[in-house]
Amino acid sequence: MIAPRESLSRPPAGRRMRKWLAPAAATLLLLAAWEAFVRAGLVDSLLVAGPGDVAQTLIDEFSMLARHTLATGREALLGLLLAFVLGIGAGLTLHVSPLLRDATLPLLVGTQAVPLVVLAPLLVIAFGYGITAKLVIVAIACFFPIAVGTFDGLRSCDPELLRLMRSLGAGRMRTLRLVELPGALPRVLGGVRIAATWAFISAVFAEYAGSTEGLGYLIARGTPLLETPRVYAAILILTAASLALWSAVAVVERRLIPWERRDSAH
């Protein structure tokens, strides 16, 4: 999918082929088994849809599914963006101010202890059925790994490097900008990658708690109506979207921090 044809002649091509081929083969095999299972009539086709039905639904209801996917995508990405800004801000603040760190760290950890399952409906009551409640829920879910990644990343700076900066005459802010922030990048992006896996799930979650559109809305409405192929299709899209977002972060990581994992096939 990513490997261009010319690259097949290069040595890592074999490894790359296997990297794509092996999971693709495994998935195909699983789908085939599933289809056979459904066709064999062992289960009620109303209750369990086969891959064929799901594929048919994806084609027939493309525009409807696309609309709901866009709605969920918007919530997930904007929520992630919000979490990114807040998470980096929080990580920076905790790093720079020991007073604020001591004062707010227990609170921050506390927010993570309240289960989102309980919180989501309450937030919908507070913010309504619009996008605001969704953004807040996604941001709460995604905020923590980014904040922790930023904080840890800033703290992980080599003390000798900090001493060197001091001897070069750099002050607090300049050291932060020239050395601590770039050095924190790997961990910040690691946090973003974890957050990215949460973004779509938490968006669906928020939709479950109350919404008028989105993949979560489709699933929540379709399940009791036994619209199984449509629900399966929505889940499939959700999975693909999460994977895509994860890969996008991985691509950004490779570009921004080539010194990490540079040994892996490039």
Partner 1 sequence: MPAKEDMQYDEQSQTETPVSPFGDGNSPSAELNPSPTAADATTSVSVSRDGERGAGAVADTGTPAVRLQDVSVSFRTRSGEVTALDGFNLTIGDGERVAIVGPSGCGKSTLLSLVAGLLPPDGGIVDVRREVALMPQRDLLVPWRSALRNAALALEAQGKPRAQAAERARPLFERFGLAGFEHARTWELSGGMRQRVAFLRTILTGRPLLALDEPFGALDAITRGEMHEWLEQALAAEPRTMLLVTHDVEEALTLAGRVVLMTRRPGKVAGEIAVDRPTGLSRAQWTTSREFSILKSQALAALR
CB of 35 to partner 1, least distance (A): 49
Task: Check residue 252 for interaction with partner 1 (CB under 8 A).
Answer: no
Residues 90, 94, 87: CA angle, nearest 5 degrees = 20
Task: Check residue 117 for interaction with partner 1 (CB under 8 A).
Answer: no
Nearer of residues 60 and 158 to partner 1, judged by Cβ: 158
Task: Check residue 174 for interaction with partner 1 (CB under 8 A).
Answer: yes
From 58, 96, 201, 257, residue interacting with partner 1 (rule: CB under 8 A):
257
Nearer of residues 52 and 183 to partner 1, judged by Cβ: 183
Interacting stretch for partner 1, rule CB under 8 A, among 35-43, 109-117, 130-138, 169-177? 169-177
Task: Check residue 99 for interaction with partner 1 (CB under 8 A).
Answer: no
Extract the tokens encoding 82. Answer: 């919000």
Tell me the HSE value of 233 on the side-chain side, using a 13 A CA sphere.
Answer: 24
Task: Check residue 13 for interaction with partner 1 (CB under 8 A).
Answer: no
Extract the tokens encoding 262. Answer: 């540079």
Instruction: Please name the residue that has the structure tokens 């990490």.
Output: 260
The backbone region for 251, taken as left when phi is positive above 0, alpha when psi lies in -120 to 50, beta otherwise, is alpha
Greatest distance between any 2 Cα atoms in the chain: 77
From 11, 47, 160, 225, residue interacting with partner 1 (rule: CB under 8 A):
160
* Rounded Cα gap, residues 145 and 137, in angstroms: 15
Instruction: Please name the residue that has the structure tokens 């989105």.
Output: 214
Task: Check residue 183 for interaction with partner 1 (CB under 8 A).
Answer: yes
* Contact residues for partner 1, defined by CB under 8 A: 158, 160-161, 163-170, 174-175, 178-179, 182-183, 185, 257-259, 262
